[in-house]
Chains A and B, each alone.
Chain A
């Protein structure tokens, strides 16, 4: 089989995956990680910061599971469904977790916020009403250099109270 090479001289393979519900079908180089790929697709919410999986700024959901996109080889999301902060609500709108972060002022510079928001989604999917300890343990791998941690913990609790499936019930 002939190898296909991109403009940088890197060997590429075609992958198909869903990004925030939309089918993507494109050539990906073997060395690209998932943050590189998302940036190429104009998705900027996942940021490569530490590059080692310990800061959480690049958290995305792959098949509903939170992972560090900086440690995920892009070719290996072939066949998966990737969700980023951009896909949480229609353009111009915010979902209940994002609104809770604003309500509680749970950020200053905002760089780490998409990662915290995606982790919060994953936590609330696993645990309906997380305790403060559960929140702290689950988010221990996300760093906020502005140290908005008390507000972030409050935002998670607020999001847990305001989740749609809870407020929609009569």
Chain B
């Protein structure tokens, strides 16, 4: 059965269609694996009865003649998506045990497609972090090296897929929260265009950046599941009014003649040699496949970090104001008047990283500083987005490293928030522009830890990006490597 656990979503779908396995059997298999690997701390809430009820439902639907590539395939949700059947905490003490009365749109979409939810995945508190060390429920371990972080904020999602305790997981990316953990755990992490997946039911961190996406074994799986997640949602005003599409349509397209832009700024002083080597080797693979590798320049990309750490905290400081202990969530047991109740509830319920960002955000929005910080940051953000548009006149996709280093160890950066923030150096520009981008495994670096290759494409060009990733994965087997013991 352990071989079954290594199967991709596409393979599981075929096995289910051929009646070689049932949704209930798959659910039981993965629930057992989740239980066996509790030490990873990837899951925050597992309710076998709820999972098995969904699996039985999927089997019934199939018996009634329903087909569908995802019908009965297990998956898990990052605990940023609200769910009716599992607690929705955003990994915060503030929302401990919180049960949402509704499902996020993405949750609903995958449920409609017949996927079976295994439970909720750990992450950095309110998706703020790059190592998953900021979870109120403890860190997640990297299956490749339990002394290393799995990346963040979607660390539970990355670890679960890397350890094959879930074949696919949802994740969210605000400044790199899908791509960085995917790179650190040797899996495929995909962030589509901002506004394509709905944000309804995603616990907001930075509304203008938050994007739902996926952690998968492969680009093929990402294309398959993503096709069910896009499309206009009238409940989200920033949702793009475009029909859903088949993201797998370009998978078979050869990359011969594909123009791959490589930003020279992504290979500067901060990049460690082991990562650079693996990334350059990956570019050679593309060259060998007939792609045209071109150097491009994104001169303002380096401003991404300061811009991001103004815009994201500003939005977060406002988004997290609703957690006041009045209507739901943590309320301080001892308090004075109403104002004191709100203060104490927030002081107790929110962790240090959300507090830090709320302070930064409140500062940059405050009277007299708004123009110098927030407004200026938005102007530079526009420059960065424009820069990508110019780049995409010269190339079809952009490739480069995801991170400066391989996964770091626990505690290595926790004491120095700025060095932690710099982990997002290569991922933040794509987030600020809102373009689709992804990380695919391309080898191993120091201490045998995985390295990711970042691919970016223009707005709504997910299919082309996934096609380029799939062609690489046809030529390599990095994405099939599984950490020892899993």
Do these two chains really belong together in a complex?
no
**Residues of A that sit less than 8 Å from B by CB:** none
**Residues of B that sit less than 8 Å from A by CB:** none
